[in-house]
Structure 1
Amino acid sequence: MLSIRNLFCILVLALLPGWVSAQSQGLIALCYHNIAAEWDGDPMTTTRDQFQAQMAWLKAQGYHPISVQQLISARNQHQSLPEKAVLLTFDDGYAGVYEHAFPLLKQFNFPAVLGLVTDWLETPTNQQVHYDTGLKPRSDFLTWPQVDQMTASGLLEVASHSHDLHHGITGNPFGDLQPAATTRRYDTTEQSYESDEQFHQRIKSDLQQSSDIVFKHLKLRPRVMVWPFGEFNRETLDIAQSLGFSLSMSLQEGSNNQIDSPVIKRYLVKNNPNLAEFIRDIRNIDVVPPVRVVHVDMDYIYDPDPEQTRRNLGELLDRIKAMHINTVYLQAFSDQNGDGNADAMYFANRHLPVRADLFGHVAWQLITRARVNVYAWMPVLSFPLDAPDDWWVHEFDHDHNAQPILSKHNYRRLSPFHHEARKIVSEIYQDLAKTNHFTGLLFHDDALLTDFEDANPAALPHLKDLTPEQQSGLKIAALAGWTKTMVDQVRYYRPDIKTARNLYANVVMDPNSSAWFAQSLPSFLQNYDYTAVMAMPFLENALEPMSWLESLIKKITAYPQGLQKTVFELQAVDWRSKQKVPDATLAEQMSLLRRLDAFNYGYYPDDFHRDKPSLDMLKIQLSLPQNVTDQP
């Protein structure tokens, strides 16, 4: 029976004005774990009463829970999904699903998916289950007769949640335990990462074993793969599909507008939400929170003394946690002299020197301890490769009969028209993604070509006989195409990443300057999730900095989705005077951004050693509400 309080909530909330209709949403998939009589403090536990209230609300609001077969039939265009379709799933195979959820599913006649970790169910009753890094009683989990009874009802479909991938493995030299399904195991003895062949065999053996065990007990093979921790990539999807798993499930955010996608996104139900909280989350499942970002130099963290590096990282983590932001742009390359050109990388790779294999550790600590999204801040063209002259950007030498020469720009850049250069750089990005966990890519401001560039021999045939305007358009497209190649390499291993690219503010302020940089705001808005505009009035020597910033904001506002897809990067240092920008100035700029509805913003650089900008100011001007910064 529903409690009187929950029943009252259902009636009142259904009548409240202002709720956005969910009918425009795609398929909503809900991920539950344990269902218990009382809350045990575990964030993955939902009480029976709250679960019952949530199911009753879904039914009262006209949601239609669907089966896996309905979803597969819709994907194969044999039938359509009902309006307001919802998919119920339960991960890990807790006994509470049988005891508390199953009776309610029968009462409502709601189908669901049951993701089982077969190693846990195969654990003898007199032993404990190795659950992640701890132990749990075997009685906390289902028995095979209980699973058989639930599947026989026709309401529950068994999925694989792996055999033994629901735990962390050593993922880097610092010993971070990272999801087994998407991590290249790091061998501390050999000081090397797992090979492609070893990784492929480990994942394939595990999924095959899980399928075989389910078949042994239930005489059927699972067709759904529920990835532990929601972690998957193109490699693991291909392996799963080769073994007969036709559908995968993750913990990506949002509803599913494309049901033909190989992976179903699911909303993680956690912390035992009451009915009002549950309704709020369902209504806002596709709402994208504002981006509040701090741009961090890895060169400030690394120290030849490992103990000092550890202290530096701890100091940064404490500061980022205290800010209550949701994003960090983290330098993945070393630039010791500050000229913007990469000197070495902070991750293992096959082509460039490595200052320290540190990026993956810092990113993981920021993601898991500070609960922020981490974008790998990467060069686009300025890599320290020992390459022939014809790989690099050239310009026309006006003093010598317009003959092409190597560019004199302070950024020494590879030509985006050179195919061998593209291949090498794509392998660097591939190495970054293969052995490091991160959530986004920020493309450095080295992705530019002046109106006198690129006179590279590989580019000249493409630019020949074009007007200056056409040449500018071709160069803009070439740079975007180059970055797309890098994104494709990364998304093979990190499919969830978002993208951002640094844009010079002059490109927005003066339309003529688009040709001077080979950059275009409309192109950026089309090709990247976010445009990180360098909203730095002192860098641009603006006579009236606040008026300049206001003009920049208003110009971007005029573009469709301009404000939604632009992150305004303020400067915390005036590089002309070599002085820190005062807190009062940054606070005034951040207030102006919010007043003009520009809610995505941050700053560079962060000097966490000297508390610049001050944490007290940032807590007022940069912090997000606590519920926005709570990542799954």
Structure 2
Amino acid sequence: MRQLHRILLLLTATLLPHLALAAGQATDLIALCYHDVREDVRGDMDEDEFAVSTAHLIQHFQWLKDNNYQPVSLDQIEAARSGGQPLPERAVLLTFDDGYASFYQRIFPLLKLYNYPAVFALVTHWLEYNSSQAVPYGNALRRRDEFLHWNQIKEMQASGLVEIASHSNNSHQGILANPQGNSQAALVTRQFFADANRYETEQQYQARITQDLTRSVELIEQHTGKRPRAMVWPYGSYNQQTEQVAKSLGMDYFFTLNGRVNKYPAQQNDVNRILIARNPTLQDFKNILLPDNQPETKRLVHVDIDYVYDENPEQQSRNLDQLVERIYRLKVNTVYLQAFADPDGDGNADALYFPNRHLPMRADLFNRVAWQLRTRANVTVYAWMPVSAFKPRGTTAPERWVWSLASGTPAPSDNSYQRLSIFHPENRQMIKEIYHDLALYSDFGGLLFHDDALLTDFEDVSPSALTAYRKNGLLFTNPQQLRDDPSLRQQWTRLKSQALVEFTQELAGEVRNLRPLIKTARNIYALPILNPNSEQWFAQNLEDFLAAYDYTAVMAMPYMEGETKPGKAKKWLRKLVKTLPPEQLSKLVFELQSVDWHKQQPIPAKELAAQMKLLARHGVTHFGYYPDNFIQNQPALTDIKAALSLEDYLYAK
């Protein structure tokens, strides 16, 4: 019995870690994305910012070995994903993109030396050129001998160390994305045909991406005898349609450039990778792999495209240049950018700045401005959009609007925000289609839901809303009971708050079908934070917001709340921050106001800077302001930059 007991103890000690993993404990996987490897890379200033020197790659491999990192294969990831053998601790996936000749000349010998598996992603069209032809690579031409040959690829695959993946056939390029001439990732962009002044149709887009990915898979199978099971998205860009095409071709793994750690076992298709750039030294490489506990910091400017728009194209172009230059000089990392037109400033969308099915298009401008800000000012752009304050073309039936009890009887609301009721099925479908069109024709990093997403303690009592309440268990004989009965009023408030959250999540889902990596933020008024009982006045609840969105944009605007003296404004801000538990601050973005809307005049930039410094002293790291009048230099850049900029901030990176 003692011998049996010892055997059982030994088995338990041996199997327990694996049993724990099999029971659902996730193992981290870090995936690294390399490109070309050369002998002559010039430090971190090489003209090819993604090239790594052979010497540095050897250092990276040796450090992985010395520190017990375990490079794994796609077979091992498949086993872990399927609930089989778990990944080892410190698992790393090595991937190399584009199909350079260095894969065979420099990388493959190192893989054999260290016995490391890797994934090689091929742009198959480049491999179809003959030795006398130049290969179009981005905006340049490269020699054919800079890329692999199929016999080399077949040899590497036969070694068992190399997994061949598709990197598209001929979609590793930009295509014309808007009338202003910007080029964007081919697989996720609706091509603009300048000669016909139109975008490609949905059918043309679907046919193009299907033909491209099919050709890539066929070439790989033809030359290697094996169909690829992994799709490496060019530029890390993909959408629901490209995923569906790839799946139909037998590819079940999708490689992105999200730069996040992967968890296994997990039923997921995406493999998030860290892009290796600027020829990292060994110390740089350690910093990439070791845990990063530095706090994220958002500094933002909230911008109206209405300031950019001008009927004169030349003036509009100058306005855009002025905006980009200002954002670049401010050294912020986030811009909330208006995607709707509101020339009268009432907060309602009179038109949109992108092609769409339901509202007039003032100009095809949002994608242009967002792209210029991203590529020239190096910021993440959030599309700032109403939730229901849209003015559709033509006459809209009264029952489709939000109704109020403020007059004593149910009637369309006279609130300054003329909102469509989110409980009306026709409205919901129309608004989802607007968001779909935004994502279809624009490239951006996030969504900011406008502060029109509110319902007062008198709203919404439209016919469709009352029907929805009854379906959700509210029992009342007339709408006035919803206000007069305390128990019903509380249930009504919660139902409205949750309905707004759920609808915005549906809208985000509509966008994520086309732009899967977007983050979400939503404006919240200050009163629901300062006085939780005021939820009934707005149908907004901070706990709901924290659970539903990546960030909550707090309208930290003392002048709007009646505190118009600098000292009282600061006192109000201190009270707002102290109301919040410190652990919530990482998901809150504080939006200050740069204009006193009661007096219609700018708030002095030095006062605004002092408010920012106050927030920073009280532990707030995410903040910015609205609006930015870059035409008038308001607030003054020289006065605001020191308080807002990330240029010298400790955790800017």
Q: TM-score, normalised by structure 1?
A: 0.93
Map of 1:7 onto structure 2: none
Is the aligned partner of 1:351 residue 2:325?
Answer: no
Q: Of residues 269, 272, 275 in structure 1, which corresponds to 2:279?
A: 272
Counterparts in 2 of 1:173-572, with a 5 A limit?
173-257=179-263, 259-284=266-291, 289-385=296-392, 386-398=395-407, 402-461=408-467, 462=469, 463-465=474-476, 467-542=488-563, 544-557=568-581, 561-572=583-594
2:638 equivalent in structure 1? 616
- Match of 2:228, as an amino acid? P
Greater Rg by CA: 2
| Whole-angstrom distance in 2 between the partners of 1:603 and 1:73 | 49
| Residue of structure 2 equivalent to 1:592 | 614
Query: Displacement of 1:287 after TM fit?
Result: 5.9
Q: C-alpha displacement at 1:73, in angstroms?
A: 1.5
- 2:150 equivalent among 144, 148, 152: 144
2:39 is aligned to 37
SS in 1 for 2:187: coil
State the match for 2:102 in structure 1. Answer: 96
Contact 2:646 2:652 (8 Å CA) reproduced: no
- In the alignment, residue 515 of structure 2 is paired with which amino acid? R
Q: Root-mean-square deviation (CA), in Å? A: 1.8
Q: State the alpha-carbon separation in 2 of the partners of residues 626 and 549 from structure 1.
A: 25
* Most deviating of 489-498 and 453-462: 453-462
Match in the other structure for 1:15: none
SS for the counterpart of 2:513 is helix
Does the CA-based 8 Å contact 1:255-1:285 persist in structure 2? no
Tell me if the contact between 1:168 and 1:180 (Cα under 8 Å) persists in the aligned partners: yes
* C-alpha separation in 2, matches of 1:257 and 1:626: 34
Paired letter, 1:255: V
Q: Name the SS of the counterpart of 1:569 in structure 2.
A: strand
**Deviates further, 49-58 or 518-527:** 49-58
State whether residues 165 and 206 of structure 1, in contact with CA within 8 Å, keep that contact through their aligned partners in structure 2.
yes
The answer to whether the Cα contact below 8 Å between 1:325 and 1:629 also exists between their aligned partners in 2 is: no
Deviates more, 1:285-294 or 1:615-624: 285-294
- SS of 2:411's equivalent? strand
Instruction: Provide the rounded CA distance (Å) in 1 between the counterparts of 2:191 and 2:372.
Output: 17
Partner residue in 2 for 1:6: none
Q: Distance in 1 between matches of 2:637 and 2:291?
A: 30
List per-residue Cα deviations over 1:189-239 (Å, max 9, x = no partner).
Answer: 222221221111111111111111111211111111001111101110011
Contact between 1:324 and 1:626, CA under 8 Å: does it hold in 2?
no
2:127 & 2:437 partners in 1: Cα distance?
36
Task: Say which SS state the counterpart of residue 290 (structure 1) adopts.
Answer: coil
Deviations 1:280-323 (A, max 9, x none): 12224686621111100000000000000100001111111112
**Identity value in percent:** 47
* CA deviation after TM superposition for structure 1 residue 248, in Å: 0.8
Matched AA of 1:412: Q
Matched residue, 2:482 = none
Distance 1:24 1:76 in 2: 13
Which residue identity is paired with 1:622? L
- Provide the C-alpha distance between the structure 1 equivalents of 2:161 and 2:648, rounded to a whole number of angstroms: 38
- How far apart are 1:553 and its partner, in Å? 1.2
Q: Which runs of 5+ in 2 are unaligned?
A: 1-24, 477-486
| Structure 1 residue 606: Cα displacement | 0.6
Q: CA deviation at 1:619?
A: 3.0
Letter in 2 for 1:348: P
Question: Cα deviation per residue 1:82-121 (whole Å; 9 max; x = unaligned)?
Answer: 1111110000011122222222221211100000000111
**Residue pair 1:65, 1:110 contacting (<8 A) in 2 also:** yes
Deviation at 1:364, TM superposition (A): 1.0
Residues in 1 aligned to 2:96 and 2:293: alpha-carbon distance in whole angstroms: 21
Tell me, in whole angstroms, the C-alpha distance in 1 between the residues paired with 2:176 and 2:247: 26
Name the CA distance, whole Å, in 2 between partners of 1:627 and 1:179.
32
**C-alpha deviations, 1:390-441, integer Å up to 9, x for none?**
111001144xxx3211111110001121111100100010011111111100
**TM-score normalised by structure 2 residue count:** 0.90
Amino acid at match of 2:512: R
Aligned to 1:10: none
Query: For the residues of structure 2 that align with 1:397 and 1:228, how far apart are their CA atoms?
Result: 55
Q: Label 1:629 to 1:90 Cα distance change in 2 as closer, same or farther (>3 A).
A: farther
Deviation at 1:628, TM superposition (A): 9.4
State the SS of the aligned residue for 2:577: helix
2:176, 2:27 → 1: CA distance? 39
Counterpart AA for 1:507: P
2: CA distance, partners of 1:283 / 1:541: 48
Deviation of 1:59 (Å): 1.8
State the shift of 1:577 in Å.
2.2
Q: What 5-or-longer segments of structure 1 have no aligned partner?
A: 1-22
